[in-house]
């Protein structure tokens, strides 16, 4: 018995000594960390700045309201675990604690997550915090951990939230039932940006207005679910709005509810939740809505019958950037079984001769189609568009009509053309800058009048950036380079064909054949990469010169006199879609000429950016 007591006392004494030694060891290691690392010579302010750069996340561009991918961010908890000095600096640097992503931290909510949240808010002090709540990680039924997390965010620290993101990929009826009342009643005096992404998740209905107490909220993103809010002040303060996978009727209604919008995006809208008849009943009594402040508008994947409402009732006079996509084509008949006649608003401009049933200017019915005059009228209300991105492709003539409308102002064009090869070629030829020159005056550079010839009309003379995604046969890839050369080096010289011999000379001719020959001869001579007689220095039967004036390999020098008074292309990218065409050796040589001349040129093949440029 005495031996047992002795051994027990000895073990207790050794435990105390070990504890004392570990404490003394920790003190020595802490001192060693202070005097050995290179950071010992850095003032706390400098070390804090290093931490800030390591942990800081900023979008790739200050004008990119919707950054697609966020880089990883170093946690301040990791920085503070190195040594006590680093922890002291990290804990007293508020900027390191302004992003909490995700919440809860663990896949299953724990009470410790609430303590961690309070640590972040405390260390952030007065700085606004960006918070990402993953509803999937909250308990599916009310629990102490989930309630404590939501209390730490929305009751204790809602005044410190600057950016709030709520996402879920699974069913969240009970989770949304816990969150929705807090969004409705919490105070958000510093909230500036909201993102709600609940695609594919059935929701518990909560109709009370949410975010009614967020006076500084100006940017909102909704995917799959639009927060119910009947407060007009809420929508009036929104300047940037991104809607994804919402009913198209809600997208349009929300658009006209936001008079101060600067940037609007609608992508992949779902079928409407109400019929067109109901929508017309709501829209027919009002005149066209004018969004004076809207500068960027993106409308991708919408339904054609709802495009009619957009073109008829919405005006954007100060738009600078327009994106239209996946709504092929601009002009097409609609299904008469589901679309009722569209009443023309009282302030809408008069429609063209193609529009039927327009005898009454007030409440008359417009045709059930996205008629060309309808979308042209919509585009003509835009005063100074500088950037156009478009995949709405039906015919080259539609493109040319759009180019005519924005000819003076458009500086950046991004388009996708893959539906019809011949229409694509016509579009590419129209984008070439040309000069029609008589054969005898090539050396003198005298230009002929081209204003009355549609084949030689110069579209978009002020274009500075061109981005094209094309599906072309390799033999036709040269037409893309013709555009770039004519807008960067010098305009293409189109030499009119020799007059066709008349019957008096003993040679018969077909008038129809003459019409077909005109355009072909003009464009074939214009190509910088065509295998014509000019490239072989063989004289032709006509009086054309022995040297191709449009060969940019033989003569790569720009026309400096011409570019003094004309806009020059500065940036271009070509994407070969979907399987891609490839440039031959001569085309690659022309592309390298453009690159050496200073054009910011990128070429993308099926597997990404090409390695030969």
Contact by Cβ (8 Å): 481, 431? no
Listed residue (216, 303, 228) closest to 266, CA to CA:
303
What is residue 361's three-state secondary structure? coil
| Burial label, 511 (beta-carbon count in 10 A; 0-12, 13-18, 19+) | exposed
Q: Are the C-beta atoms of 306 and 272 separated by less than 8 Å?
A: yes
CB 557 within 8 A of CB 451: no
Query: Phi, psi at residue 337, to the nearest 5°?
Result: -80, -20
Query: Tell me, what's the pLDDT at 382?
Result: 94
| Interatomic CA distance for residues 545 and 359, integer angstroms | 59
C-alpha 491/C-alpha 432 separation (Å) is: 8
CA distance 434 to 523: 10
Judged by DSSP in three states, 196 sits in strand
Closest CA to 154 of 115, 183, 178, 131: 183
pLDDT, residue 230, reads 67
Instruction: Classify the phi-psi angles of 348: left when phi > 0, otherwise alpha if psi is within -120 to 50, otherwise beta.
Output: beta
User: Which pLDDT score, from 0 to 100, does residue 506 have?
Assistant: 44
DSSP 444-513: TTPPPP-TT-GGG----TT--EEEEEE---GGGTHHHHHHHHHHHT-PEEE-PPPPPP-GGGT----HHH
Number of H helices, E strands in the chain: 18, 21
Q: Given the DSSP bridges, would you call strands 387-390 and 608-609 parallel, antiparallel or unpaired?
A: unpaired
Q: Which residues contact 575 (CB under 8 A, 6 or more apart)?
A: 467, 468, 469, 470, 604
| Rounded-to-integer distance, Cα 239 and Cα 262, Å | 5
Residues 556/489, Cβ–Cβ less than 8 Å = yes
Closest CA to 403 of 348, 450, 454, 476: 454
CB 518 within 8 A of CB 497: yes
Q: Are 176 and 142 in contact (CB under 8 A)?
A: no
What's the pLDDT tens digit per position in 521-535?
Answer: 344 434 444 433 333
pLDDT value, residue 410? 94
Q: Is 372 helix (H, G, I), strand (E, B) or coil?
A: helix
CB atoms within 10 A of CB 9: 10
SS (H, E, C) 148-180: HHHHHHHHCCHHHEEEEEEECCCCCHHHHHHHH
CA dihedral 466, 471, 477, 479 (to 10 degrees): -50
pLDDT of residue 340: 40
Instruction: Tell me the two tokens of residue 103.
Output: 């919440």
Sign of CA dihedral 505, 510, 515, 521: negative
Burial tier of 207 (Cβ tally within 10 Å: 0-12, 13-18, 19+): exposed
Question: Which two tokens mark 119?
Answer: 């640590």
pLDDT score of 421: 74
pLDDT score, position 370: 54
CB atoms within 10 A of CB 57: 14
**Quick one: which of 35, 44, 33 has its CA closest to 92?**
44
What pLDDT does 94 receive?
93
Instruction: Kindly give the interhelix angle for 396-405 and 421-430, rounded to the nearest 10 degrees.
Output: 30
pLDDT score for 473: 73
Q: In whole angstroms, what is the distance from residue 166 CA to residue 149 CA?
A: 14
Q: What is the pLDDT of residue 52?
A: 85
The string of DSSP letters for 35-55 reads HSSGGGGS-HHHHHHHHHHHH
Q: Is 568:599 a contact under the CB 8 Å cutoff?
A: no
Q: What is the largest CA-CA distance in the chain?
A: 141
pLDDT of residue 201: 60
In 3D space, the residue among 225, 417, 386 whose CA is nearest the CA of residue 320 turns out to be 386
Give every CB contact of residue 182 below 8 A, 6+ residues apart in sequence: 150, 153, 154, 155
- Residues of the chain where predicted confidence (pLDDT) is lower than 50: 58-69, 71, 328-329, 331-369, 439-449, 452, 503-545
Closest to 168 measured CA to CA, from 140, 147, 192, 187: 140
Distance between CA 209 and CA 188 in Å, rounded?
14
Give first-to-last CA distance, the chain, whole Å: 90
């Amino acid at each position: 018995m005495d031996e047992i007591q002795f051994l027990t006392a000895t073990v207790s004494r050794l435990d105390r000594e070990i504890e004392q030694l570990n404490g003394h060891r920790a003190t020595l290691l802490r001192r060693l960390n202070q005097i050995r690392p290179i950071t010992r010579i850095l003032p706390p302010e400098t070390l804090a700045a290093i931490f800030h750069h390591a942990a800081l996340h900023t979008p790739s561009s200050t004008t990119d309201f919707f950054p697609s991918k966020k880089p990883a961010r170093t946690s301040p908890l990791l920085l503070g675990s190195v040594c006590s000095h680093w922890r002291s600096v990290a804990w007293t640097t508020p900027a390191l604690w302004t992003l909490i992503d995700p919440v809860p931290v663990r896949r299953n909510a724990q009470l410790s997550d609430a303590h961690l949240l309070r640590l972040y808010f405390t260390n952030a002090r007065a700085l606004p915090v960006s918070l990402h709540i993953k509803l999937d990680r909250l308990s599916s039924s009310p629990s102490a951990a989930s309630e404590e997390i939501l209390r730490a965010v929305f009751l204790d620290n809602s005044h410190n939230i600057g950016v709030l993101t709520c996402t879920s990929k699974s069913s969240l009826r009970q989770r949304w039932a816990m969150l929705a009342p807090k969004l409705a009643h919490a105070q958000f005096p510093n909230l500036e940006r909201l993102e709600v992404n609940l695609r594919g998740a059935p929701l518990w209905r909560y109709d009370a207005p949410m975010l009614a107490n967020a006076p500084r909220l100006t940017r909102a993103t909704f995917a799959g679910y639009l927060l119910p809010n009947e407060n007009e002040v809420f929508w009036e303060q929104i300047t940037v709005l991104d809607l994804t996978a919402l009913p198209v009727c809600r997208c349009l209604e929300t658009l006209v509810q936001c008079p101060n919008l600067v940037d609007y995006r609608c992508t992949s809208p779902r079928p409407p939740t109400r019929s067109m008849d109901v929508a017309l009943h709501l829209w027919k009594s009002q005149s066209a809505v004018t969004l004076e402040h809207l500068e960027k508008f993106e409308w991708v994947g919408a339904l054609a019958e709802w495009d009619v409402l957009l073109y008829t009732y919405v005006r954007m006079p100060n738009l600078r950037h327009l994106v239209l996509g996946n709504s092929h084509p601009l002009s097409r008949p609609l299904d008469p079984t589901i679309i009722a006649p569209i009443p023309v608003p009282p302030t809408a401009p008069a429609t063209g001769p193609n529009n039927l049933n327009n005898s009454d200017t007030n409440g008359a019915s417009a045709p059930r189609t996205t008629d060309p005059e309808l979308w042209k009228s919509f585009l003509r209300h835009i005063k100074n568009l500088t950037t156009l991105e478009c995949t709405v492709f039906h015919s080259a003539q539609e493109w040319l009509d759009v180019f005519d409308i924005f000819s003076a102002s458009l500086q950046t064009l991004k388009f996708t053309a893959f539906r019809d090869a011949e229409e694509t070629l016509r579009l590419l030829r129209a984008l070439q800058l040309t000069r029609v020159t008589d054969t005898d005056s090539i050396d003198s550079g005298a230009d002929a009048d081209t204003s009355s010839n549609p084949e030689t009309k110069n579209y978009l003379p002020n274009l500075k950036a061109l981005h094209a995604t094309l599906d072309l046969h390799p033999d036709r890839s040269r037409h893309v380079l013709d555009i770039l050369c004519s807008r960067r080096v010098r305009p293409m010289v189109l030499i009119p064909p020799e007059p066709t011999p008349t019957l008096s000379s003993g040679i018969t001719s077909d008038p129809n054949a003459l019409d077909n020959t005109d355009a072909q001869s003009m464009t074939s001579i214009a190509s910088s990469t065509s295998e014509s007689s000019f490239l072989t220095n063989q004289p032709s039967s006509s009086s054309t010169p022995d040297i191709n004036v449009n060969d940019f390999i033989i003569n790569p020098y720009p026309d400096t006199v011409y570019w003094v008074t004309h806009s020059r292309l500065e940036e271009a990218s070509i994407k070969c879609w979907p399987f891609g065409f490839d440039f031959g050796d001569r085309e690659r040589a022309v592309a390298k000429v453009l690159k050496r001349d200073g054009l910011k040129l990128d070429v993308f093949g099926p597997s990404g950016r090409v390695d030969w440029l």
